[in-house]
């Protein structure tokens, strides 16, 4: 036997099969999908390509990189951090461990916002409507709002410089003309907006959560007062930064909704609607 012969590398379908089995054994429910994403990213090809070329041999270098990425996933590193991006509202956003990974439930903010702007587009006021995305992270909400409703004047704010760097990169890649401002919630936002949107930290540290969240920035996940402190602080600030009749779209866990709605109603907000994780409030101060 010639010990100098190179070790045989697997074909694509064999690597996928073995990787999915390991991920399944680790308790990862998206095992097959994650295996395909890892290998497609490694080969710089689509997932469709994998199935069209499933008998192709991997090179030793490709296998080495794919195996390393697989190990990260087995350690419960989120797949978005491994590949460096996450889809949101039909667009790909750069992510890294300094930003929260965009969630599908947040997309309802954009859907509701589009409905609200359609309802008010008959107004004779031609002044551009202002929107501020508070705690923007990757910028996925504010950037999506700008691209879906181009007439909006959009500002992205975050307290994290690292997050704003990611948001700025996403805005440039997606050709979204937005303003970025470093701010503790609305404290440094100089305008009065028509729309405030926010997916702030709302997780209570005592809640059960997936192992993947241990890799996300705690600054973007957790808040004191049973997860409500930052949402309360934002609601307190909003009357000074929102036109009468303007809207605030906030994401929170459904078990927190009743408490948030009561808090907001005591501060001149009325409930427009609740849709899954999203609370839509309208600022209705007494005349």
pLDDT at site 287? 57
| Pair 179, 199 in one domain | yes
**Among the three residues 75, 100, 118, which one is the final residue of a domain in this structure?**
75
What CATH number has the domain bearing residue 69?
1.10.8.10
| Pair 45, 103 in one domain | no
- Asked whether residue 1 carries a pLDDT value surpassing 50, the answer given is no
Q: Which of 99-103, 161-165, 208-212, 267-271 has the lowest mean pLDDT?
A: 208-212
d(CA 226, CA 222): 9
230 inside domain: yes
Find tokens 């866990």 and name the residue. Answer: 253
Please give the structure tokens belonging to residue 108: 């309802």
- Asked whether residue 14 carries a pLDDT value surpassing 70, the answer given is yes
- Asked whether residue 177 carries a pLDDT value surpassing 50, the answer given is yes
Containing 171, the helix (H) or strand (E) segment is helix 161-173
Q: Which pLDDT tens digit goes with each residue over 80-130?
A: 999 999 999 999 999 999 999 999 999 999 999 999 998 766 455 667 899
Please give the structure tokens belonging to residue 171: 């805005």
d(CA 240, CA 230): 16
| Pair 180, 252 in one domain | yes
Confidence of residue 8 (pLDDT cuts 50, 70, 90): confident
Parallel/antiparallel/unpaired status of strands 242-251 and 130-134: unpaired
| Pair 191, 229 in one domain | yes
Average pLDDT over residues 195-223: 91
| Number of domains, the chain | 2
- Asked whether residue 190 carries a pLDDT value surpassing 80, the answer given is yes
1 inside domain: no
Parallel/antiparallel/unpaired status of strands 85-88 and 242-251: unpaired
d(CA 192, CA 34): 43
| Pair 226, 103 in one domain | yes
pLDDT at site 123? 54
% residues pLDDT > 90 (the chain): 87
108 inside domain: yes
44 inside domain: yes
- Mean pLDDT for the chain overall: 94
236 inside domain: yes
**Among the three residues 75, 105, 127, which one is the final residue of a domain in this structure?**
75
pLDDT at site 122? 47
pTM above 0.85, yes or no: yes
Please give the structure tokens belonging to residue 26: 């680790």
57 inside domain: yes
270 inside domain: yes
Residue 271 has φ and ψ, to the nearest 5°, of -80, 125
Note every long-range contact of 35-41, with CB atoms under 8 Å and residues 24 or more positions apart, other chains counting. 35/70, 37/79, 37/83, 38/66, 38/69, 38/70, 38/73, 38/79, 38/82, 38/83, 39/12, 39/15, 39/66, 41/69, 41/82, 41/83
Q: Which pLDDT tens digit goes with each residue over 22-35?
A: 999 999 999 999 99
What CATH number has the domain bearing residue 258?
3.40.50.150
176 inside domain: yes
d(CA 146, CA 177): 8
| Pair 163, 187 in one domain | yes
- Asked whether residue 158 carries a pLDDT value surpassing 90, the answer given is yes
Average pLDDT over residues 195-202: 96
Residues in the chain, total:
287
Domain that holds residue 70: 12-75
| Pair 60, 110 in one domain | no
| Pair 158, 32 in one domain | no
| Pair 36, 159 in one domain | no
- Asked whether residue 2 carries a pLDDT value surpassing 60, the answer given is no
| Pair 68, 160 in one domain | no
| Pair 50, 157 in one domain | no
CB 73 within 8 A of CB 20: no
d(CA 96, CA 30): 20
pLDDT at site 166? 97
Confidence of residue 11 (pLDDT cuts 50, 70, 90): very high
**Among the three residues 75, 106, 122, which one is the final residue of a domain in this structure?**
75
- Asked whether residue 5 carries a pLDDT value surpassing 80, the answer given is no
Q: Which pLDDT tens digit goes with each residue over 53-82?
A: 999 999 999 999 999 999 999 999 999 999
Identify the DSSP state of 6: P
| Pair 17, 141 in one domain | no
């Amino acid at each position: 036997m010639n010990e100098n012969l190179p070790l045989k590398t697997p074909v694509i379908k064999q690597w996928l099969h073995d990787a999915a089995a390991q991920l399944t054994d680790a308790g990862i429910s998206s095992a097959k999908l994650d295996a395909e994403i890892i290998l497609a990213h490694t080969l710089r090809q689509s997932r469709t390509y994998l199935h069209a070329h499933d008998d192709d041999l991997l090179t030793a270098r490709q296998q080495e990189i794919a195996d390393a990425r697989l190990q990260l996933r087995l350690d419960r590193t989120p797949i978005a951090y491994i590949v460096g991006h996450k889809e949101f509202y039909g667009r790909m956003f750069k992510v890294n461990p300094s930003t929260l990974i965009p969630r599908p439930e947040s997309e309802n903010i954009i859907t509701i916002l589009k409905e609200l702007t359609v309802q008010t587009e008959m107004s004779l006021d031609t002044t551009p409507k202002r929107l501020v995305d508070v705690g923007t992270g990757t910028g996925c909400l504010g950037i999506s709002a700008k691209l879906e409703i181009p007439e909006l004047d959009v500002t992205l704010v975050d307290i994290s410089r690292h997050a704003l760097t990611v948001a700025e990169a996403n805005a440039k890649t997606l050709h979204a003309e937005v303003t970025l401002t470093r701010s503790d919630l609305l404290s440094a936002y100089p305008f009065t907006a028509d729309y405030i949107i926010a997916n702030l930290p709302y997780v209570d540290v005592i809640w059960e959560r997936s192992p993947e969240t241990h890799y996300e920035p705690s600054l973007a996940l957790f808040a004191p007062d049973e997860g409500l402190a930052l949402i309360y602080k934002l609601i307190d600030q909003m009357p000074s930064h929102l036109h009468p009749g303007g809207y605030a779209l906030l994401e929170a866990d459904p078990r927190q909704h009743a408490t948030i709605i009561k808090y907001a109603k005591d501060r001149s907000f009325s409930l427009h609607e609740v849709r899954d994780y999203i609370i839509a409030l309208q600022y209705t101060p007494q005349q």
